[in-house]
Amino acid sequence: MCGVTAPPTTAPTVASFPDRLAAAVERTRSQLVVGLDPRVELLPVELRGEAAGGGAAAASAVERFCRGIIDAVGPHVVAVKPQVACFEALGSGGWAALESVCAYARETGLLVIADGKRGDIGSTARAYAAAFLEPRGTYPALADALTASPYLGRDSVDPYLAACRRHGAGVFLLVHTSNAGAADVQEVTLSDGRPLWRHVADLVSEWGGELVGECGLSAVGAVVGATYPRVVGEARRAMPQAVILLPGVGAQGASPADVARAFTSGPASALVTVSRSVIYAYRERDADWRSAAGAEAARLVEATRSASGW
């Protein structure tokens, strides 16, 4: 009919995760991600007393702490990375706190990377993808991206790839983790002489080739520990289009200089993730816990920018 605009036949297209990330890095001039790993025994005194009763009180204190950290580091970072286990340990109240913290971070303009490290067979992975990466009715997805394990093979990863394709999500697959025990499995030598992690990196590159954004980076990223600088360089060469998430800077002993080679595919091609050394910086500084976190985040942003060369 004349004068009547027909409703759209398709839902608005959501920008891909790597394109949203690239835009956020350009806007903030930051490649720093702050991990939200709330532990009741390490909360500031003003919150620790409230949390001592456990249950809903502890979840409320954790939520207040994370919101305060988001306010403090928001001007300096591109994303936050809530450690899902820290919230799950608090029961149903903890999960509610996680939902609230993720929503608050996104309201402030930050990307959210849920650190769940999920890994299971296809049907279960499908539920994980729905829980973290897909819209929930009229509500947006819990997070922009999720960490996951690829060690059960392609069928365990397919649901995450589908969420990337349909909903503009991202997934960071474990390639070589930052912990000391990573070598027990990930560096086992295969029959062709390569370490196992290198084979996984090739798979990540292959799977991610289907989901490259306009910025030239893929929605399928990789977790590579900054505590293994040699591996970081090799991983970048093996996965030129992957965004590399780099844990291990700070409390685990690595520095931004250890990960410089991860950034050779562009300013948004790697993210340095720091948790305890930022959110608990007040334990080392004579300052309010919020201002201490903000100051440490600002310092690390400059160090990361200098190391990346962008």
Active-site positions?
117
> To which residue do tokens 């009741």 refer?
40
Whole-number Å distance between alpha carbons of 35 and 143: 14
Residue 112 near residue 169 (C-beta atoms within 8 A) = no
In angstroms, the Cα distances linking 172 to 29, 80, 294 are 22, 14, 26
Residue 121 near residue 146 (C-beta atoms within 8 A) = no
Task: Name the CA radius of gyration of the chain, rounded.
Answer: 19
Phi, psi (5° rounding) for residue 255?
-125, 165
Residue 114 near residue 142 (C-beta atoms within 8 A) = yes
DSSP designation for 40: G
Phi, psi (5° rounding) for residue 222?
-140, 140
Bridging pattern class, strands 145-148 and 170-176? parallel
The DSSP line for 141-189 is PS-SEEEE--TT-HHHHHHHHHHHHHH--EEEEEEE-SSGGGHHHHTPB
For residue 113, give the 3-state DSSP assignment.
Answer: strand
Residue 111 near residue 20 (C-beta atoms within 8 A) = yes
Whole-number Å distance between alpha carbons of 279 and 253: 16
